[in-house]
Chain A
Amino acid sequence: MKRTFLNGVAVMALTAGTAQAQMMFTPGEGGFHWDGYEAFAENYDLSGETVEITGPWTGFEKEKVDVVFSYFEEATGATVNYSGSDSFEQDIVISARAGTAPNLAVFPQPGLAADMASQGFLTPMPEGMGDWVAENFAAGDSWVDLATYEGPDGEEDLYGMFFRVDLKSLVWYSPIAFDEMGYEIPETMEELKELTQQIVDDGGTPWCIGLGSGAATGWPATDWVEEMMLRTQEPSVYDQWVDNEIPFDDPAVVGAIEEFGWFALNDDFVQGGTQAVATTDFRDSPNGLFAVPPECYMHRQASFIPAFFPDEVELGADADFFYFPAIEENDLGSPVLGAGTLFSITNPSEATSAMLEFLKLPIAHELWMAQDGFLTAHAGVNLDVYATDAQRAMGEIIANATTFRYDASDLMPAEIGAGAFWSGMVDYVTGESAEDVAAGIQARWDSIK
């Protein structure tokens, strides 16, 4: 629920133009990788074949992905029927059970795909796909792991290929305010903490943090903790945490929570003081960046947040972002937290395999990048194609990632990731100790095992 909502918003935020006609990019022009496309077109003739695809993209997003598919149709002669649904999660399960599954399904998050793989509704990816992703995606191994699940026989296999990524590790700020105060973009967490202190010394408030989100209150803090996990622990520890192989109250997790606390629990560091963190609405909190005088200077939030900026704020001029930096001393590279959608085979056919081949081409990604509202981990794409500078800068952050990890709360069981973890973080910012909060969440996790 939270994820699909945010995806939708992200697109709204970043969509400048309106829907356009199909075949909007003339082959051979622009910065696209047309040569691969032409070679692909020569290899395949699938006239009369049809590829059925269902996914969560509707509205503007459907129009954009239809453009991508139209180039596949043009190249192969096959027909692509894509249908998007707001209740994709239920629909795909029902159709798989009824034996009427489409050829490909686009899962908005890995959890459901893993679930369906274990029930035998998914077909493993073609031979070699895993190696290809590992080599050609930024932080490729991460993407392979995220799409590798146990099949019905308990055997592990690659069941999906990620197409389209959302980025969380961003800190939003006002370039004008930074300019006036002479602040530099921090490159490391150490610098970020120094800057935080510096702003306080200058009489300002560094951060706007708001966890309010109606019944989902608390989730923005889970992102903070996940970021901190990636910056204080090896990626493998993060994975163990997600699978509950280490308990939630493991010192590693408690430490990450307390890293978040360094920012959120200091009355001087957050707008309105710590007390305001729990109740300020997350959509409302970035507005402090643009207030005169500024109520805060930085705001950590995912790529969708510009949708909630005041109308007159212009991306690039009044608002910009930088990568939420890694801790230099820990030497863990540049971890990136995010989310993404993946293609899985629900009903194999020759044309389906061809479609997967097509999705491996940079052009398949570039065609949507150029329409805006799309980030990719594909390392072979031409970043110049991105429709806006902001998108390109985000694309670069993903391309430079050494580790990519999926939003942990989306991977955990809903009762934890969309329940106990949220409310636990609220308890934490309102005074409970990190140990107690983590132990409470673990207790809840134990009770559902």
Chain B
Amino acid sequence: MSPIVQGILTIIIGVGGCIGYFYASNILLDRVIFPPKTDDQGRNIRRATMVRPWLFLLPAILALGLYLVYPVVGSFLRSLYNRSGEEFVGLGNYVQMFSEHGFRVALFNNFLWVVFVPAGATFFGLLVAQLTDRLKWGNIAKSLIFMPMAISFVGASLIWKFVYAADPDIGIINAIRDYFGAAPVDPMQIPFWNNFFIMFIMVWMQTGFAMVILSAALRGIPEETIEAAIIDGANPFQIFFRIKVPQIAGTIVVVWTTITFLTLKVFDIVYTMTGGNFDTEILPSYMMDYMFRDDGRATAVAFVIMVIVTPVMIWNIRQARREL
């Protein structure tokens, strides 16, 4: 039971500490450092107003800096050293890595993932969003398709083992093959295509996400535009592709990029489905092979992922700057 007590204690300390920090620092600022009751009241209030945002921001800046900004630098520096961290090897880890078959396979597979997972999830998401738009039981359907979102990648992998298992009494695919008299195959061992079987698990999980957002976007399209199109004699497909899709293009891009960077972080599915065997390794799972063993190599892989993400990141920042 001690973990429970410990957990409760830390919640109290952590939460209390947070509240305490914000409350106390504000009081300190208003009453002690810049008390508004002295001669230069106006200047003090102005000063306090200048300082206060930083009080509000300090914990967030600390946490973000420590856990996300510093690691970018820290990881890069670490990746320049050898496995024990004692010897400077420059770009040695990268050179070594790129010369290895395993890494190139992981890089290639990752490329497949980045192309097909967001595409698949967005496609299915859009499809469901459009189809359920005017359906009576649309909300129930959406809620069921949204459900995998709540499941862990580990849980999802287990769930899909009941589809992919080579034993025709466990896996549905092989049960169907068996019914038609075909010999069982192990989908996880079919070269190249096994990647797509694993990717589909991710698509299965992310479709709900795409669907929710795209369906909101579809609802946001002004009725008049569509009515006008109907009067002009457009068929449902034309309405969908010529009118609706262009209207929500911006949202589609947001969904696409969100799923893209999520895809770049996921290692659990490959880890539980194949353990990276059968040439299904992707960069995050490849990195875990080296984690705790060769930190130089592990950080080098992480940095490669960072480099791949950077264009998305820059695009995101520009988008945000434009909106401000």
Contact = CB atoms under 8 A, between A and B. Distances in A.
Direct A–B contact present (CB less than 8 angstroms): yes
Interface of A: 214-215, 217-218, 272, 275-276, 278-279, 414-415, 419, 423, 426-427, 430, 440, 443, 447-448
Contacts of A426: 277-278
Nearest to B290: A415
A447 B185 contact: no
Contacts of B101: 440
B38 interface: no
Contact of A215 (B188, B275, B278): B275
A217 B277 contact: yes
B166 interface: yes
B289 A275 contact: no
A279 B184 CA distance: 13
B294 A448 contact: yes
Interface of B: 83, 96, 100-101, 166, 184-186, 188-189, 271-272, 275-278, 289, 293-294
Contact of B277 (A278, A440, A443): A278
Nearest to A217: B275
Nearest to B272: A214
Contacts of B189: 275, 278-279, 430
B271 A215 contact: yes
B278 A278 contact: yes
A272 B186 CA distance: 10
Given A276-B166, A278-B189, A279-B189, A430 B293 contact: no
Contact of A279 (B96, B188, B271, B276): B188
Contacts of A415: 293-294
26 contacts: A214-B275, A215-B271, A217-B277, A218-B277, A272-B184, A275-B166, A275-B185, A275-B186, A275-B189, A276-B166, A278-B189, A278-B277, A279-B188, A279-B189, A415-B293, A415-B294, A419-B289, A419-B293, A423-B277, A426-B277, A427-B277, A430-B278, A440-B101, A443-B100, A448-B83, A448-B294
B19 to A, nearest CB: 37
A427 B276 CA distance: 11
A441 to B, nearest CB: 12
Contacts of A272: 166, 184
A278 B279 CA distance: 13
Contacts of A448: 83, 294
Nearest to A276: B166
A215 B272 CA distance: 8
Contacts of B166: 272, 275-276, 279
B226 to A, nearest CB: 51
B79 to A, nearest CB: 15
Contacts of A217: 275, 277
A409 to B, nearest CB: 15
Contacts of A218: 277
Contacts of A275: 166, 185-186, 189
Given A217-B277, A279-B188, A414-B293, 4 more contacts: A217-B275, A278-B278, A419-B293, A430-B278
Contacts of B276: 423
| Residue with the highest number of chain B CB atoms closer than 10 Å, among A276, A279, A419, A426 | A279
A214 B275 CA distance: 7
Nearest to B167: A272
A300 B298 CA distance: 36
Contacts of A215: 271, 275
| Residue with the highest number of chain A CB atoms closer than 10 Å, among B185, B272, B275 | B275
A426 B189 CA distance: 11
A116 B83 CA distance: 21
A447 B271 CA distance: 24
A419 B293 CA distance: 10
A281 to B, nearest CB: 11
A430 B271 CA distance: 18
A127 B96 CA distance: 48
A440 B105 CA distance: 14
Nearest to A274: B189
Contacts of B188: 279
A423 B166 CA distance: 20
Contacts of A278: 189, 277-278
Contacts of A443: 100
Given A217-B277, A415-B294, A423-B277, A279 B83 contact: no
A90 to B, nearest CB: 13
Contact of A447 (B96, B184, B272): B96
B89 to A, nearest CB: 12
A217 B289 CA distance: 13
A423 B271 CA distance: 13
Contacts of B185: 275
Contacts of A214: 272, 275
Nearest to B185: A275
A161 B186 CA distance: 47
Nearest to A215: B275
Given A419-B289, A419-B293, A448-B83, A276 B275 contact: no
Nearest to B97: A447
| Residue with the highest number of chain A CB atoms closer than 10 Å, among B96, B188, B277 | B277
A214 B161 CA distance: 13
